[in-house]
Amino acid sequence: MSVFQATTSAPVNIACIKYWGKRDNTLILPTNSSLSITLSQDHLRSTTTARADPTFTETTLWLNGKVEDIKSGGRLERCLAQLKKMRRERIEAKDPNTPKLSEWNLHVASFNNFPTAAGLASSASGFAALTSSIAALYGLSSFDPSKPSVSSPSELSLVARLGSGSACRSLFGGFVAWEVGSSPTGEDSLAVQVAPQEHWPTMHALICVVNDAKKGTSSTSGMQRTVETSALLQHRIKNVVPARMQAIEKAIKDKDFDSFARITMADSNQFHAVALDTAPPIFYLNDVSRSIIAVVEELNRVSYEKTGHLVAAYTFDAGPNAVVYTESRNVKQIIEIIVRYFPQVESSPFPDPFNLFSGSQPA
Ligand code: PMV
């Protein structure tokens, strides 16, 4: 008897140009384009196994071993419905002898190897791994480059986006843009690879876990409040992000770390300014986060005076944890300085405090 099962894993991605704000809450269409780097080492990943079987009486999802509620009309259900539709139209309709997996219930088990919902982009890797595992189970994608695939990573990014916006970017390795799109139905709001990791292999991301507790204001409710109340967000969407997207893509193409760092830090700071401009205000950074900003700014000031170049770029998502981007030649110096100023106070869930970046395709 055949077993219909697939396991894939996807890494988190960390945005340099932040997505913050939806123009459509159901389809998860953003108010601006965004750009991120997908991490590739093993510390921050979701691994998902999906199995279809005609004897399953219902579809069940386990997240880190606990059964999750599948809300009717919710994000997960929308992702599953879209994948089933693709299976029906692209595979089952073309071959009457193929098993009708789209009609069977699923068992899906997903594990994060890092704290969930702590501002470490767990929903991004989670929905990317879920989408890619079911796509593999349904025969929609082939991770074997020698075999043709019936759906591209950009098409699958449309499905992952229905689960969590930032998840669409984790379908690619390397440097990835999520295009805002203009269609009200969302088919042009997808992820594209700007450059593979091999283009700029000396780029590293140091993940500084300031606090791994669950975050206070979820990105969904935070974004909605910002869209409803912040005038600064409207300025950001119209006058800032479009030019920044072009500038950072150029910086990546040119491997121009100084421009990359300036844009990344400015965009993180504007995102947190927009959070503060929300009513009531949202505070994601804490005193340790602000001290990390001060240390990196000072390092860059001294380095710029000496060499005319910057050495590091900080960025913060919806939580206090810092990601510091730097190039290989500066990794040792940055780690030494951060560990000197921020010694580890208690045992960490990570084997070491830093996760070195080298992007890769989810596999
Ligand atoms: O996809 P969500 O709902 O987890 O939102 C992610 C928002 C940020 O991480 C703050 C920014 C981004 O672009 O990843």
Is there a contact between 157 and 362 (Cβ–Cβ < 8 Å)? Answer: no
Ligand 1, atom nearest to 165 Cα:
1
Task: Give the model's pLDDT for residue 109.
Answer: 98
- What's the mean pLDDT when you consider all of the chain? 91
Cβ of residue 318 lying under 6 Å from some atom of ligand 1: yes
Ligand 1 midpoint to CA 208 (Å): 18
Residue extent(s) of CATH 3.30.230.10 domains in the chain: 4-197
Question: What tokens appear for 334 in the block?
Answer: 């940055």
> Is the complex ipTM higher than 0.90?
yes
The model's pTM is 0.92
Question: Domain 4-197 adopts which CATH fold?
Answer: Ribosomal Protein S5; domain 2 (3.30.230)
CB atoms within 10 A of CB 88: 15
CB atoms within 10 A of CB 94: 9
Stretch among 136-140, 203-207, 357-361 having the lowest mean pLDDT: 357-361
Cβ of residue 204 lying under 6 Å from some atom of ligand 1: no
Ligand 1, atom nearest to 318 Cα:
10
Ligand 1 midpoint to CA 97 (Å): 42
Task: Give the model's pLDDT for residue 342.
Answer: 87
Cβ of residue 317 lying under 6 Å from some atom of ligand 1: yes
* 61 has a pLDDT exceeding 90: yes
What distance in Å separates the CA atoms of residue 45 and residue 173, rounded to the nearest whole number?
13
What distance in Å separates the CA atoms of residue 305 and residue 335, rounded to the nearest whole number?
21
Is there a contact between 128 and 46 (Cβ–Cβ < 8 Å)? Answer: yes
Cβ of residue 15 lying under 6 Å from some atom of ligand 1: yes
Cβ of residue 165 lying under 6 Å from some atom of ligand 1: yes
Cβ of residue 264 lying under 6 Å from some atom of ligand 1: no
Ligand 1, atom nearest to 167 Cα:
1
Residues 250-288 have pLDDT tens digits of: 999 999 999 999 999 999 999 999 999 999 999 999 999
Return the amino acid letter for 36: S
The pick from 166, 180, 321 for probing ligand 1's pocket by mutation, whose C-beta has the most ligand atoms within 8 angstroms, reads 166
Ligand 1, atom nearest to 164 Cα:
1
Stretch among 65-74, 221-230, 250-259 having the lowest mean pLDDT: 65-74
Ligand 1 midpoint to CA 352 (Å): 25
CATH code reported for the domain at 203-341:
3.30.70.890
Ligand 1 midpoint to CA 261 (Å): 19
Residue extent(s) of CATH 3.30.70.890 domains in the chain: 203-341
Cβ of residue 315 lying under 6 Å from some atom of ligand 1: no
Cβ of residue 164 lying under 6 Å from some atom of ligand 1: yes
Cβ of residue 34 lying under 6 Å from some atom of ligand 1: yes
The pick from 16, 20, 321 for probing ligand 1's pocket by mutation, whose C-beta has the most ligand atoms within 8 angstroms, reads 20
Cβ of residue 178 lying under 6 Å from some atom of ligand 1: no
116 pLDDT band, cuts 50/70/90, is: low
Ligand 1, atom nearest to 123 Cα:
4
Average pLDDT for 129-139: 97
Cis status of the peptide bond prior to 115, with omega within 30 of 0: no
